[in-house]
Structure 1
Amino acid sequence: MKEELISKKELLALTGISYGQLYRWKRLKLIPESWFIKQATTTGQETFFIKDKILKRVAFILDNKDKYSLEELASILSPVFTNKLFRSGELKKNRWLDPSILQQCEECFSKKTFTFTEVLFMTIMSKWKEEWKLEESAITEWISSVKSWLPQLKNNSYRLIMCEKGEKKLYLLTEQGKSFFLDSGTRQLEAADLEEWAKDLHRRLSEHDYVNLLEGDR
């Protein structure tokens, strides 16, 4: 399953932004460095982006650059909660988190405080559990996979994929911009862009009385 890419040259022509603007936004972290995908072409190495993501990001920046400074936009686009811990007792107050998933995570991780990334996975699980009526056993297996993935993750530049083979659900975690291939008996059900979900989670936490959620700096 390969996402459509757009070259840097095509991006600049399509959006009207300049080379200088693009790389200034990169330096200020309005556009993550991981979004700049280097690929070999017949004319040499070129830079590409995942088309849908970069066009949405550029449109957001252009629509808001007169309302906020670039530094403020960088703060909006980069969650400020990433270095915080969240108490399970307060997380239970959020209706978008499934209580049973939170309880299973407490048992699997043997703790009652969670990182932003752990809450991010719980949020996706809660949504997919509701939409796909996932069994508790499937969630337990998924949580175990997440626990093994977490120590290897450096950022949120990944896609979480849910597939189905027969009656069994399978979960894949792949880097942004990377291809993956499924066998003929497996079909993709869902895909979650962790960076986009992280932005939405940041918004949800911002709307909540998150002062009580924060356990403290990691």
Structure 2
Amino acid sequence: MDTELISKKDLLELMNISYGQLYRWKRKQLIPEEWFIRKSTFTGQETFFPKAQILSRIGKIIAMKDDLSLDEVAGKLSPLLYDLRLRREEIIERNIVSSLVMDRLGNRADGDGTYSFERMLFLFTADKLLQTGEMNLEEGGQLLQTLQEHFSKFEGKGCDLVFIRKMGVSAFALISASGELYFEGKVKLVARLSMTVCLEELKTKLT
């Protein structure tokens, strides 16, 4: 389940924007640092972006930049959602997480019966993999445990969730965003998800 990428050259041409605009928006934090992915190519090092997310983000910036300052655009694109809490019924009604996943994996609401933004992110990520058929519910429990134990260690920096399987035994890990991984031949990389991309997708659903 690899994220489709677009090169910087193709992005600039497709969106009809300049190099200067792109990096000005980066400095203003309109585009997350983690979306600038450096990869080796036959011509050397090039920059790529998660295609769906960067096209959507730049489309929104272009639509707003004539009427708002860049600081105002940043406020629109980065709403303060981290303090948002929702009940189980609201999460299902807003199509954030399926009822099946909430029933089987989402039984750890806080004392007031609500779910934190971080908890919703973990469930949203599990639901994303379950919907593809790449993961079963038991593995979904492993995924949630991995995120609960280690996600906070990245302190807001970009990280990727790695899902591997060897001889029917599955495992999950969190690594720094864009870090390279190499496995022995018998290990199957089932999926690699950018947690930054998952977070952005969740924010879109919540706004």
Tell me how far apart the structure 2 counterparts of residues 26 and 85 of structure 1 sit (CA, whole Å).
29
**Equivalences for 1:139-158 in 2 at 5 Å?**
139-155=140-156, 157-158=158-159
TM-score, scaled to structure 1: 0.66
Q: How far apart are the structure 1 equivalents of 2:12 and 2:202? A: 32
* Mapped pair 1:137 → 2:138: yes
Q: Give percent identity, aligned residues only.
A: 20
Any conservation in 1 of the 2:61–2:73 contact (CA below 8 Å)? no
Q: Distance in 1 between matches of 2:144 and 2:17?
A: 44
Q: CA deviation at 1:177?
A: 2.1
- Residues 63-212 of structure 1: matches in 2 within 5 Å? 63-64=62-63, 65-66=65-66, 69-103=69-103, 104-107=105-108, 112-132=113-133, 134-155=135-156, 157-206=158-207
**In 2 relative to 1, CA 99–149 (structure 1 residues): closer, same or farther, beyond 3 Å?**
farther
Amino acid of the residue matched to residue 24 of structure 2?
R
> Residue in 2 aligned with 1:42?
none
Counterparts of 1:13 and 1:91, CA distance in 2: 37
When the two chains are superposed, the root-mean-square deviation of aligned CA atoms in Å is 3.8
- Which residue of structure 1 lines up, in the alignment, with residue 42 of structure 2? none
Structure 2 gaps, min length 5: 40-44
| C-alpha distance in structure 1 between counterparts of 2:89 and 2:157, whole Å | 25
The answer to whether the 8 A contact 1:35-1:176 is kept is no
Determine helix, strand or coil for the equivalent of 1:171: strand
SS at match of 2:118: helix
Distance in 2 between the 1:58 and 1:205 partners? 16
Q: TM-score, normalising length from structure 2?
A: 0.69
Query: Is the alpha carbon distance of 1:18 and 1:102 closer, same or farther for their aligned partners in structure 2, counting shifts above 3 Å?
Result: same
Distance in 2 (alpha carbons) for counterparts of 1:11 and 1:139: 36
1:55-85, Cα deviation, whole Å (9 max, x unpaired): 6377436643346543343234324312323
Q: CA deviation at 1:100?
A: 4.8
Task: Specify whether residues 128 and 55 from structure 1 end up closer, same or farther in structure 2 by C-alpha distance, changes over 3 A only.
Answer: closer
CA distance in 2, matches of 1:4, 1:196: 12
> How far apart, in 2, do the equivalents of 1:185 and 1:99 lie?
35
Contact 1:77 1:199 in 2 (8 A): no
Map of 2:32 onto structure 1: 32
- List per-residue Cα deviations over 1:90-147 (Å, max 9, x = no partner): 324344413453353434x765433323212211211322321743322222221111
